[in-house]
Chains A and B, each alone.
Chain A
Amino acid sequence: MSERRKKSTFERGTFKKKINNALYSSDNIKKLLIGNTEGMTAKEIRTTFKKYVKSHLFIDDTITDTKSYIFYDVRMPHIHTTTKDCKVVMFVLCHRDVLEEDCDFEGFYGNRVDILSEMVEDCLLNDKKVVKDFGIGEMQLESVDIFNNSKRFYGLQMIFDVPNFR
């Protein structure tokens, strides 16, 4: 393991695992993405969850379902002598046909993308165990931009800043 730590891209894999686990642990996210899970086995829930949460960025035309999705990736724009800047990029997307569909979650407002982005922020930043599990100190939300490059999908691009030792 100490050998692996020396690799600069080590965080890409480990961060993705942690993000995926954190998203999966949110009942709200599972409910919004999958729908009613009653009667589904744990395996079925996991398999369906994987259909809607991907560890790479969005590629138009590869997604056909009229559903909501979360895509994420890890960028490292600057690698310094002792530290490196890691950015967790999250795409929270929803097909335009279901964007305004009824989506009742207590305490959440707006369309599906608004609600889903809030849930993502909730599960990555409000859980003390999760927020401190990445890099040095706590993960921080750096920016939120509108993603409107697809004809069928609309969404947000959320960038989280996570500095780490090299």
Chain B
Amino acid sequence: MAQEWYLLKTDHDVVSGFENEALLDYGADSFNESLQPPLADEVEICNCDLSIRNRIYAIIKDKTQDTKLNSLNRQILAPIGSCKAGDYVYYKKRYWIIVGLVDDNSVYEKGVMLLCNRILSWVNDKGKVIQRWAAFQSAAQYNNGETSDRYKYVRSDQLLVIMSMDEESLMIKHKQRFIIDKRCDIYEKSFSSDVKVNTEKPLLVYELTRTDNAVFDYQDSGHFEFMAYQDEQHSEDGYYVIDGKGYWLCKEPNDTDNQSQILLSKIECDEPIIYCGLESTVFTAKFHDENGNEIMVSPQWEVRSDFTDKLEIDYVDSSICISADSEKLINKSFELLLHAFGYEDSLITVTIKDFI
């Protein structure tokens, strides 16, 4: 008897004997065709930094759960090749991370999703702010939150942090510190728009004490786990606005030399004059490292004037192009400020003149 031949037990009177082949040939297509609401949900499969997002329909299983922990897990049934371990799934306005190896049964592939809690931010060794969504699980659920000797008490908590496995997460330094605190959302609401740095809020801070990048490495995919142990808050831990976006960041571990050094930025332009009605004047940000070499850093520009809305402003790479068309602005001046994380601010006064 042919190994592939199988007679289906069915209520239908007529069967061909080729049901298995049909299942193999058309199973995936039939599954894809069945991905319609309400059976399927629209989700986005995202890469580690959410820069690539693929919108697909997929079946999300186990939506209704009976226990607290199970309610944080789901299964995703998706067309074959849609996702892999370590991908993020944006489902019902929440980010989930796929943990465990994703495999298929020739009809669909299945992944196990874990709900992400917060976005984790840190500064990598190149000075760039990295953000990843992470799932946090308590690794010290029933301790009393303090350790002590005779004279002092310090905070004590452990979290298991689960995030995507990528070049940035794998290269996180030992003892890297993170702010993991829901209160940050409340603090941010109270900040005015001109707040650039705030290190005054009490925060829950953790440091990386143990990493695990082998157990959940599936060769072509995988997720990354590390243990974070609660640390005391340092004076530099807090809210920093970089490139117009706010981040909750900790000072880098064992990096006191770099922190104490103030690097210089510079605004370069033809002349600090904007001629009314003419082409834009281009102001370019220049940054140098401690050896005097020019380096690329994302600049953050601030135009300090009470007529900013009357200026035409464009941003091109590391330059800001400003022009003015209104005659009323002639002979007026404004301040142009250049910020960049880790660099001293640079300021110039720009005058708007009549070209005649």
A20 CB–B CB distance under 8 Å: yes
A17 touches B270 (CB 8 A): no
B319 CB–A CB distance under 8 Å: no
* B271 cross-chain contacts in A, Cβ below 8 A: 43
B356 touches A46 (CB 8 A): no
Q: Contacting B355 at CB < 8 Å: which of A1, A14, A20, A41?
A: A20
Q: Contacting B356 at CB < 8 Å: which of A41, A43, A55?
A: A55
Asked if A17 meets B327 with Cβ closer than 8 Å, knowing A24-B355, A42-B270, the reply is yes
Name the distance in Å between B116's Cβ and chain A's nearest Cβ. Answer: 49
Q: Contacting A14 at CB < 8 Å: which of B270, B282, B327?
A: B327
Q: Contacting A42 at CB < 8 Å: which of B281, B327, B354?
A: B281
Q: For the complex, count residues of A whose C-beta is within 8 A of B.
A: 14
* B278 cross-chain contacts in A, Cβ below 8 A: 21, 24-25, 46
**CA A16 – CA B356 in complex, angstroms?**
7
Residue of B nearest to A54 (CB): B356
B327 touches A43 (CB 8 A): no
Residue of B nearest to A44 (CB): B270
B277 touches A17 (CB 8 A): yes
1/0 contact string of B179-206 vs chain A (CB within 8 Å): 0000000000000000000000000000
A46 touches B275 (CB 8 A): yes
**CA A43 – CA B281 in complex, angstroms?**
10
Asked if A43 meets B270 with Cβ closer than 8 Å, knowing A21-B278, A24-B278, the reply is yes
B340 CB–A CB distance under 8 Å: no
Interface centre among A1, A16, A21, A55 (most CB of B within 10 A): A21
B281 touches A17 (CB 8 A): no
Asked if A46 meets B327 with Cβ closer than 8 Å, knowing A17-B277, A21-B277, the reply is no
1/0 contact string of B255-284 vs chain A (CB within 8 Å): 000000000000000110001111101100
Asked if A20 meets B327 with Cβ closer than 8 Å, knowing A41-B270, A42-B270, A46-B275, the reply is no
Asked if A1 meets B328 with Cβ closer than 8 Å, knowing A41-B270, A46-B355, the reply is yes
Chain A 1-17 residues near chain B, CB threshold 8 A: 1, 14, 16-17
Residue of B nearest to A22 (CB): B277
* A17 cross-chain contacts in B, Cβ below 8 A: 276-277, 327, 354-356
Interface centre among A24, A41, A42 (most CB of B within 10 A): A42
**CA A25 – CA B281 in complex, angstroms?**
14
A20 touches B270 (CB 8 A): no
Chain A 33-51 residues near chain B, CB threshold 8 A: 41-43, 46
Asked if A21 meets B355 with Cβ closer than 8 Å, knowing A41-B270, A42-B270, the reply is yes
Residue of A nearest to B282 (CB): A42
**CA A16 – CA B355 in complex, angstroms?**
10
**CA A18 – CA B356 in complex, angstroms?**
9
**CA A17 – CA B354 in complex, angstroms?**
7
Chain B 299-356 residues near chain A, CB threshold 8 A: 327-328, 354-356
Residue of B nearest to A14 (CB): B327
Residue of B nearest to A19 (CB): B356
Residue of B nearest to A21 (CB): B277
1/0 contact string of A89-111 vs chain B (CB within 8 Å): 00000000000000000000000
Name the distance in Å between A97's Cβ and chain B's nearest Cβ. Answer: 29
**CA A17 – CA B328 in complex, angstroms?**
13
Residue of B nearest to A49 (CB): B355
* B281 cross-chain contacts in A, Cβ below 8 A: 42
Name the distance in Å between B276's Cβ and chain A's nearest Cβ. Answer: 7
Interface centre among B276, B281, B328, B355 (most CB of A within 10 A): B355
A42 touches B355 (CB 8 A): no
* A20 cross-chain contacts in B, Cβ below 8 A: 355-356
**CA A18 – CA B354 in complex, angstroms?**
10
Interface centre among B270, B354, B356 (most CB of A within 10 A): B356
Residue of B nearest to A53 (CB): B356
Residue of B nearest to A25 (CB): B278
Residue of A nearest to B280 (CB): A42
**CA A4 – CA B278 in complex, angstroms?**
23
User: Which 7 A/B pairs are nearest by Cβ-Cβ distance?
Assistant: A21-B277, A43-B270, A20-B356, A42-B270, A41-B270, A43-B271, A17-B354
Given A1-B328, A41-B270, A42-B282, 15 more A-B residue pairs with CB atoms under 8 Å apart are A16-B356, A17-B327, A17-B354, A17-B355, A17-B356, A20-B355, A21-B276, A21-B277, A21-B355, A25-B278, A42-B281, A46-B275, A46-B278, A46-B355, A55-B356
Can you list 25 pairs linking A and B with CB atoms under 8 Å apart?
A1-B328, A14-B327, A16-B356, A17-B276, A17-B277, A17-B327, A17-B354, A17-B356, A18-B277, A20-B355, A20-B356, A21-B276, A21-B277, A21-B278, A21-B355, A24-B278, A24-B355, A25-B278, A42-B270, A42-B279, A42-B281, A42-B282, A43-B270, A46-B275, A46-B355
Which residue numbers of A lie inside 8 Å of B, CB to CB? 1, 14, 16-18, 20-21, 24-25, 41-43, 46, 55
